[in-house]
Structure 1
C-alpha cells in the first residue's frame, strides 16, 4: 500500500498591497496530542492514554499564480510527520505517519482563528494482528497502512510570530483491504500546538482577487492496478485491474466535476470460480460457464476533484451495474464460524439483507493524484498518477495505483 504526496494571474487587493501579498510565508508546527484509542473489536486489548507528537511544515499560499488558493480563500497546505503511541506497547504498539494536509479558515467572520485541518497519507505500524500471539487486536494486519486525520483548531494566543493553538480531532489507520482482519485503528484526541511563522505576515480578511469566472470541458481516462484479499480464509493479496473514462467540466481552474464509466476484473473472484469454491457449487454453479465475465464489475460514476496545482484530491461515487460475485464476497466476509463442544466447526454465512443490497449497488473511491504539469497553467494535455482507496459504499474493497491522461477543450471565459 502506498500513497502520494499533497497550486495565473496577478492579484488585486482591498486594503493591502500586491507586494505584501506576494511575500508568501512558510510556517512550522510542533504539536502534542493526548487521547484514546477506540476499541476496534470485541475483546480488543485494553489501552491507556494515547500519546502523539507531530511536526508539520506548511505554506500560506499567497502567490499570485495560485488561482486555486484564491478561489478557496487562501488555505494553508503542507506535510506532517507524526509519532503515535496507542497506549499498549505490547499488543497495539506505535505508528509513524506521513500526511500531506490542507487547512481552511472556518466561519472567519463569526469565529476568528478557527480552522479545519484534513490530512491524508500513509503510516507504518510496528504491531499487528497475529492469530497466535496477538489474536484480539483485529485492527491492523499490515505494517504499511493508509492514514487519515481530521481536526478543528482554535488559535488562543498570537505573539511574536507564534500562534498557540488548541485542537480536537480524529485519527485513523487501516490497510485498504489488502489483508484481513482490517477493523482499523480509530482515535479521538485533543492537542496543544505552537505554529511558528518563518517571518512576520499580516493577513487581511478583505483580500480580493481579479480572476475571471471561466470553465473548460475535459475528457479523461485511466488505467489502474490494485490489490485486495477475498476473505480471512483467502487472505493472499491478488490483483484488481481497472479502466475508466469520464468527461465533464473544470470550473475556475479549481473544481472538476464529471461522470463516466468503469470496468474492473478481480483475480480473487476468477480464481474462486475456477477452483469451484464451496459457495459457488452450492449457489451459483452457472458461474463456471463464464469465469471471466462473472469475475468482472462495471458501472457508472460521478466524480469530483479539487485541483491544487500539481496535486488533485478526488472523490467518486458510483453505481454498480454488474458485480455478480459480490454475493459470495459478502457472505464470506460478513459470516463467522465457531466450534461446538464436540469440536465440530460451524460456519454461518453473512445474511443477504437490505444492507447487502445497498453495498452491492453503491461504490466509492477516494484518493490523491499527482499531475505532471501544474493545473495552474490550464494545460491542454496532462498526465497523472494516482493512489486511491476503492470501497463498497464506505467499506474498503481494494487499494489502487493508477496512471491516466486528461484533455481540456472549449475554454470559456465570462464577460464580467
Structure 2
C-alpha cells in the first residue's frame, strides 16, 4: 500500500490538531494562566549543506507566536515543570537565495523553560518541533547544487536561548540566539537538510499582568505509576538515490516503565520492523544481492527485518507527549547493503564509462548500524493530567540511525497504567 506524499500532509494535520487542543485545554482549565503574543525578527546564516551549495546572503526570518504562561495549579505537569510557557509559532524564512534555496513557511509547537533561574533570572530555553513548507527543492537539471531539500513538506526544529533584557508590566524585550533545522526524514533523496544559526530580537506581550500570589509551590511528594504500552507504526522512506521512490516501513513495539509525578515517563522495550525497500531489493535479486549476498534470497522477509531494544523518555503535557528514544539494533542485516549504496559514489572516466564505488564497512558503519534514535509528538485521546488507566494515542515520529534519518512514521499506540503509588518526601 502506497501513500505517496499523504503521510507528510497527515503529519501537518497532527501538528495543527495539537496546537488547537493545546491552547483549548489551557483555556478551559485556567483562570491563572496568562495568554501572550511574541512578534520576532531573526537574522542569521544558512550553513552549506553540501559541496558547491548555492551562495546565500543574510538569512531573514519573521516569527509570530501565541502561547500561555501556564500558572495553572490544577495541572500536575505545570507545577512540576515550574510553570513553563507553551504555544505555537508561525514562521517565514528567507534563506538568502530565493531562486535556488527559497522560502520556508513553518508551524511549530513549542515549550519554554526558565533556565538557571537561581543563578540568572530572565534566561529561558525554548524548543520547537513541527513542520514546514518549502517552496524550492533540489532538481537534477535546474537546481542540482541544492541537495539540502527535495520535498515540499519537511520536519522543522528550533532550539533557542532567550534573555529578557528590558521588562515592563506587560512587555518583555528579549534577545535570542539559536539553531534551526529543516529536513524531510529520509522520504526522498538527496536530503542533506538545511541548518541555520540565527540571532533574534522579540517582544513578549502579555495579555495581563501575572502576580506571584497566584502561583503555588510544587507538591514535593513523589508519585509514580508503572505502565505497559504497545505500538503499531506505518512509516515511509527511500533506499538510495537510485531507488528513490517511497515505500513502507512496518513496525511494532512493546514497552514498560514508570510515570513519575504524572509528568515524566521513562521506560524501555523491544521493537520489530520490516522495510519494504529491503524486501523488494532482495526479492528482485538486485546487483549487490546477486554479487555479494545471494543467501538473502532464501529468506527475503527475515533479511528485510530489524529488531532491537530501546530506552524511552517522554514529557507528558495534558493530551500531548514529547518523546525521545535511544535504541540498540540487535539485528539489521540489510543495513550493510543500505550503507554500501548510500556511502558510495560514482564518476565518469575519460571513455565516458560510469564507475560506481561502494561505501566501506568501517567503524562508523558499525556505530550507525548499532545505534538507533526516535523523536516525535503524540496526541493522547484522554488527558494524561487525569492519569487514566487506559489511553490511546496517535503519533508522528522521525526515526534515525544514530543522527541520520531512517524513516518518517505515523503510529497508533495503547498505554495501560497500574495503581498509583505516592511517597511523602520531607522538604524544608
TM exceeding 0.5: yes
Give the direction of change, closer, same or farther, for the CA distance of 1:203–1:140 in structure 2 (3 Å limit): farther
Question: Equivalent residues in 2 for 1:20-99 (5 A)?
Answer: 22-99=31-108
Structure 1 distance, partners of 2:173, 2:221, is: 37
Q: Mind listing any 5+ residue stretches in structure 2 that lack a counterpart? A: 1-7, 23-29
Contact 1:22 1:64 in 2 (8 A): no
Alignment partner, residue 218 of structure 2: 209
- Of 346, 351, 355, 1:346 maps to 355
- Of 161, 170, 177, 2:170 maps to 161
- Of 293, 314, 330, 1:305 maps to 314
**More contact order relative to length (CA 8 Å, sep ≥ 6):** 1
Alignment partner, residue 410 of structure 2: 401
Contact 2:82 2:218 in 1 (8 A): no
Contact 2:73 2:216 in 1 (8 A): no
Report the more deviating stretch, 208-217 or 277-286: 208-217
The count of corresponding residues between Structure 1 and Structure 2 is 403
How far has the Cα of 1:271 moved from its partner?
0.3
Post-superposition Cα deviations, 1:328-363, rounded to whole Å, max 9, x if no partner, equal 000001111011111010111111000000111111
How far has the Cα of 1:167 moved from its partner?
0.4
- Of 379, 403, 423, 1:414 maps to 423
Contact 2:39 2:202 in 1 (8 A): yes
How far has the Cα of 1:204 moved from its partner?
7.1
Report the more deviating stretch, 203-212 or 334-343: 203-212
Post-superposition Cα deviations, 1:280-313, rounded to whole Å, max 9, x if no partner, equal 1111100000101100111111111111110001
Check if 1:140 corresponds to 2:149: yes
Alignment partner, residue 11 of structure 1: none
Alignment partner, residue 249 of structure 1: 258
Alignment partner, residue 140 of structure 2: 131
Q: Mind listing any 5+ residue stretches in structure 1 that lack a counterpart? A: 8-20
Check if 1:110 corresponds to 2:110: no
Q: Give the alignment's TM-score, normalised by structure 2.
A: 0.92
3-state SS in 1 of match to 2:96: coil
How far has the Cα of 1:207 moved from its partner?
4.8
Contact 1:91 1:127 in 2 (8 A): yes
Structure 1 distance, partners of 2:158, 2:213, is: 28
How far has the Cα of 1:55 moved from its partner?
0.3
Structure 1 distance, partners of 2:108, 2:342, is: 30
Structure 2 distance, partners of 1:333, 1:274, is: 20
- Of 178, 185, 188, 2:187 maps to 178
3-state SS in 2 of match to 1:410: coil
Give the direction of change, closer, same or farther, for the CA distance of 1:406–1:286 in structure 2 (3 Å limit): same
Q: CA RMSD in A?
A: 1.4
Post-superposition Cα deviations, 1:178-208, rounded to whole Å, max 9, x if no partner, equal 0000000000001000110011113479851
Q: Give the alignment's TM-score, normalised by structure 1.
A: 0.95
Post-superposition Cα deviations, 1:2-61, rounded to whole Å, max 9, x if no partner, equal 253358xxxxxxxxxxxxx95211100000001110000000000001000000000011
Post-superposition Cα deviations, 1:137-185, rounded to whole Å, max 9, x if no partner, equal 0000000000000000001111241111100011100000000000000
Structure 1 distance, partners of 2:272, 2:328, is: 12
3-state SS in 2 of match to 1:226: strand
Check if 1:373 corresponds to 2:382: yes
